Amino acid sequence: MLREFLRKQDSFKLDERNIPKLFKDCCNKIYSSKKIRSYIYESVFNKPNSYQISFKNNENNFYKQRVAFLDNNLKADYFVQDIGNFEIINSIKEFYNDKEILDVCAAPGGKSILLSTYGFMVEALDKSQSQIDKFKQNIKRLNIDIKITKKDFLNSKINSKYNSILLDAPCSALGTFRRNPDVISKIDRKRLKINQDIQLKMVDKSLNLLNNGGVLVYIVCSFHSFETMGVIDKILQKHKNINIEDIQSDKMIKKENGYFINPYSFKEYGGADIFYVSVLRKQQ
């Protein structure tokens, strides 16, 4: 068998032809540029870089002076986060007028921690104890204060109202395909519909907790239309008092009601995970 493989190894070469059609269909829907799509397909077969984010600007770092590669050592005052994740939070933070934020799906804490380095006071919720444990370890190591509560957001009563809410919703994680190649072959319409139902319930509940004039940021690490534009489209049909804000970023692509990370724009850093983000403002 091994001899057979060695003789034919060129025909086993991994390239674009090996990528399932469903995955390509998702890409086609979002990225009209062939250059970007080819880059995404190429990155399926390349090991992604891991990054660490500094607490403060550091002139030795690259890309906005907060990001460094993660080799073997995680430096003190740094935490692990994908560069695309960093771009998302960096470009939406200006929409939050109120520095007190409710992060409803917060663990293991990447986005909460980044927001707190920008001076936000984060109240964090998550329903998973194991993820919360990781979050607590992170903030202990970094010596920062974030109030973390174990709570099922959909099944618990929250009495307060907020001006700033972050919903980094559970999803298929399709946008992390470089780290989790399994997601490529697991695209399943039925599962995506179930995810969308949960995402819709979460956005609905978040909007109910939002004061007039307040901002909800919806994020998923996916680029399937059901979990991204599909969710916000249904929300806008139901809630007539929501405006979608324009984000200024040369590293994202504008689509219906939101933006997708453009991994090609991170080429010189080794690419990025793909996220979708939409900034929803409740009218006064």
Ligand X SMILES: C[S@@+](CC[C@H](N)C(=O)[O-])C[C@H]1O[C@@H](n2cnc3c(N)ncnc32)[C@H](O)[C@@H]1O
CA distance 274 to 194: 21
CA distance 237 to 239: 6
* Site residues, ligand X (CB under 6 A): 105-111, 125-128, 131, 152-154, 168, 170
Query: Residue written as tokens 């903030």?
Result: 139
Q: Would you tell me how many other CB atoms lie within 10 Å of the CB of residue 201?
A: 13
Q: Of the two residues 149 and 283, which places its CB atom closer to ligand X in the complex?
A: 149
Helices (H), 118-187: 129-142, 182-185
As measured in angstroms, the least distance from the Cβ of 4 to ligand X is 43
As measured in angstroms, the least distance from the Cβ of 85 to ligand X is 7
As measured in angstroms, the least distance from the Cβ of 104 to ligand X is 6
As measured in angstroms, the least distance from the Cβ of 86 to ligand X is 11
Query: Residue written as tokens 């972050």?
Result: 166
Q: Of the two residues 19 and 261, which places its CB atom closer to ligand X in the complex?
A: 261
Q: Of the two residues 36 and 227, which places its CB atom closer to ligand X in the complex?
A: 227
Query: Residue written as tokens 């939050």?
Result: 96
Q: Of the two residues 35 and 201, which places its CB atom closer to ligand X in the complex?
A: 201
Strand partners, 207: none
And the tokens for 111? 């986005």
CA distance 180 to 183: 6
What is the set of active-site residues? 221
